[in-house]
Amino acid sequence: MNRYEIFLKVIERGSFTKAANDLGYTQSAVSQVIQTMEAELSTTLIFRSRSGISLTPDGEQFLPYIKKVCYAQRELVEKSKEMRGLEHANIRIGTFSSVSSNWLPLFMKDFKKNYPSVHFHLQQGEYTSIIQYIKEGSVDFGFVNPDAVTDLETISLTSDEMLVVLPYNHPLVDQETITAEDIANEPFILLDEGELSEPLEIFKEQGIKPNIQYRVHDDYTIMSMVENGLGISILPELVLRKVNYQLVAKKMEHSIVRTIAIAFRNRKTMPISSRYFIDYMVERFSGMG
């Protein structure tokens, strides 16, 4: 209990005795606190009489400032408690490769500048497995397409277009855009994202059955397979930004856009470190817009 809170309690109760009883202090201890404040401010703050107490004119002038200092100190204590909660905290994230290989490392680096004791634990997966990680509690939150989510809270961050990925010598590289019909009979390497697949949804909408030859969980393995002529694929633009594979990426005539969101069970019960990191990412993406 800081002295400003004691002063405000005395004013609220209109009595040193009642304030002392509320606070669990002796009356003399409360009186000593007020006398110390008055000495520091070189004035009298409270009139004392048999009928009770009241603020002096100087007390009236100082009251709003005392309140501000009191509330600021409370906020400081709360912030200190929160910061202690972040000491050596673990932030457990379910993620897929296009996110974990691009902007997530930069966000973690910047976040650790303010909270250097925080530790990150990344658990790789795809939509279905990440959702399961969240529900079973092995991660605090995860990155998903919200269309794949049920029974979880989500916060959408950004959108990401998916592109057709071709070998350099493929006949379709000269076309400006690619249609689903163009690639219907091509050997197709499917990025396996679990129960939801954005490319398969587009094929289904257009009544086309792709020639799926391979199902692969890892984007980079797919790019290597395409480079070696094993087939073509559709991959998120995000993962294609920092690659050295000999590939050509083309837009679909009917664009495929996925939403990247954060999913979690319950924000109120989430560790404070993870809540802070989510808030930080949401703020960063808002700034990007």
| Residue 143 confidence class, pLDDT cut points 50, 70, 90 | very high
Rounded to whole angstroms, how far apart are CA atoms 96 and 235?
13
Average pLDDT over residues 184-207: 87
Point out which residues pair with 48 in neighbouring strands: 53
Pick the closest to residue 111 from 123, 96, 93 (CA basis): 93
In 3D, which of 282, 283, 267 has the Cα closest to residue 134?
Answer: 267
pLDDT tens-digit series, residues 86-119? 777 889 999 998 898 888 999 999 999 988 888 8
Contact (Cβ atoms closer than 8 angstroms) between residue 14 and residue 53: yes
Contact 263, 144 (CB under 8 A): yes
pTM above 0.85, yes or no: no
**Interhelix angle 3-13/27-41, nearest 10 degrees:** 110
CA pair distance 181, 191, nearest whole angstrom = 19
Query: Under CATH, what is the fold of the domain 90-157+259-288?
Result: D-Maltodextrin-Binding Protein; domain 2 (3.40.190)
CATH topology of domain 3-85: Arc Repressor Mutant, subunit A (1.10.10)
Q: What are the residue ranges of CATH 3.40.190.10 in the chain?
A: 90-157+259-288, 159-257
Tens digit of pLDDT for each residue in 60-96?
999 999 988 887 887 777 667 666 767 778 899 999 9
Cβ burial of 286 (10 Å; 0-12, 13-18, 19+) is exposed
Residue spans of beta strands (DSSP E) within 59-152: 90-95, 119-124, 141-144
> In the chain, which residues fall in CATH 1.10.10.10?
3-85
Q: Is residue 250 within 8 Å of 113, Cβ to Cβ?
A: no
Q: For domain 159-257, is the CATH number 3.40.190.10? A: yes
User: Percent of the chain at pLDDT above 70?
Assistant: 96
The mean predicted confidence, pLDDT, of the chain is: 89
Burial (CB count within 10 angstroms: exposed 0-12, middle 13-18, buried 19+), residue 178 = buried
The yes-or-no verdict on residue 289 having pLDDT over 60 is no
pLDDT above 70: residue 287: no
- pLDDT at position 24 is 87
Identify residue 147 by its one-letter amino acid code.
D
In the prediction, which pLDDT does 277 show?
A: 95
